[in-house]
Structure 1
């Protein structure tokens, strides 16, 4: 299975909300290092490749054990190109005739808290369902999306997005899930053709919300660091053998 599977880690250098986010330090380690290390530890992949347009990201990725066989072109490194286009581009560069890899995992560098165990678990569901694409999702918490409202910018009046559900009890409403970029699986043939994981029939694999955090702002980074500290605090201590 490993020889047929590749991990692509998209990590462009042009983030505006959090400049340099993919190599920002998190608990003393570059953000992208967490994704590379989880992929390595999972032992699922024949290759772990970082797709970036930035020399500094490439250098750090190489240091932590990933491959960077090319620098991504500027045409697919802007603010509007879907991230999955970079994954499709990487597949075309690395496997021109589409015969080497059957499956691809797209692992976003700004989702550092997913673990090797998460990768293995998500891969198990992907394999068992035989779906063409599977994305990671988190369950909504105390903020009930069924009660979402628009607010008018002028008079601040509120309009519910789901009027019928506004009067329902939360326990009577179906669960809703939000995508996170932590772990997206796809059949390489489909991703190359469609250039997206958002295809009809895509499956959702639920990840623990604490592992599915996407970092896009300074506040997100602070939150992730707090979660890491809490995780370390609650780890059982190892007794030293005398």
Structure 2
């Protein structure tokens, strides 16, 4: 059984300038993803897919491989992650049984969860993927909307009077990693489907980073977790 980690990290970023190289806990944030991937022992190779020479240099210094540079047409704001992973699989000289996409901006990523994802997918040959999720903090069936007049209304009125404990739990993409069989990536199997298994993370270990507010919250969480001994 062979496995490769692919960390997509383009140079451009619309909401946080140079996001993948911005310092987090005193080092470029991508360094944390690389370090955790290497420490997991789950991968034969840890590869960074980037179009940016500075990111490539940092990645190599952290112990990752950068065996190719991503073409410009796959490094814009509209290219999906799956296309980047497929390009990386085809660009590598070796074909691995499993390919795991790990986001560069996942500072709360845990090596044990990476191993858990590989183990669960390997044990379920009928599945294509296993990826990180966490439960929503409040039942999504009770979500509210603000309408055009500025008033609140229920997104799902049929659940308005149902007790929260009687509603089925819902889960969100944790934005950390996506294990897949390499052939599943190449076939274009749908990730958000019944072809996938969940790797359920506690909510306090999850913070997707898309904007400055997310970044600040991730810093607070990281500091608290480190003080509490949950991070190395």
TM-score by length of 1: 0.88
**Does the 8 Å contact 2:8/2:50 carry over to 1?**
yes
> 2:145 maps to what in 1?
150
**Does the 8 Å contact 1:84/1:197 carry over to 2?**
no
Among candidates 69, 86, 89, match of residue 88 of structure 1:
86
Among candidates 111, 132, 144, match of residue 136 of structure 1:
132
Q: Please identify, of 169-178 and 73-82, the stretch whose mean Cα deviation from structure 2 is larger.
A: 73-82
Report how far residue 26 of structure 1 moved: 0.8
Where 1:229 maps in the other structure, the secondary structure is helix
Distance of 1:202 and 1:113 partners within structure 2: 22
> 2:20 maps to what in 1?
22
Distance of 1:199 and 1:192 partners within structure 2: 16
Where 2:113 maps in the other structure, the secondary structure is helix
**Does the 8 Å contact 2:118/2:130 carry over to 1?**
no
**Does the 8 Å contact 1:135/1:205 carry over to 2?**
yes
Unaligned runs of 5+ in 1: 237-242
Report how far residue 200 of structure 1 moved: 4.1
Runs of 4+ in 1 over 6 A off after TM superposition: none
Report how far residue 172 of structure 1 moved: 0.3
Change (3 A) 1:214 1:190: same
Distance of 2:77 and 2:57 partners within structure 1: 23
**Does the 8 Å contact 2:132/2:201 carry over to 1?**
yes
**Does the 8 Å contact 2:51/2:71 carry over to 1?**
yes
Change (3 A) 1:129 1:10: same
Q: Deviations over 1:89-124 (max 9, x none)?
A: 1001114xxx73111111011112111112112222
Distance of 1:115 and 1:138 partners within structure 2: 14
Among candidates 50, 67, 72, match of residue 70 of structure 2:
72
Among candidates 175, 179, 190, match of residue 181 of structure 1:
175
**Does the 8 Å contact 1:103/1:188 carry over to 2?**
yes
> 2:103 maps to what in 1?
108
**Does the 8 Å contact 1:88/1:195 carry over to 2?**
no
Is 1:122 equivalent to 2:117 in the alignment? yes
TM-score by length of 2: 0.92
Distance of 2:114 and 2:145 partners within structure 1: 36
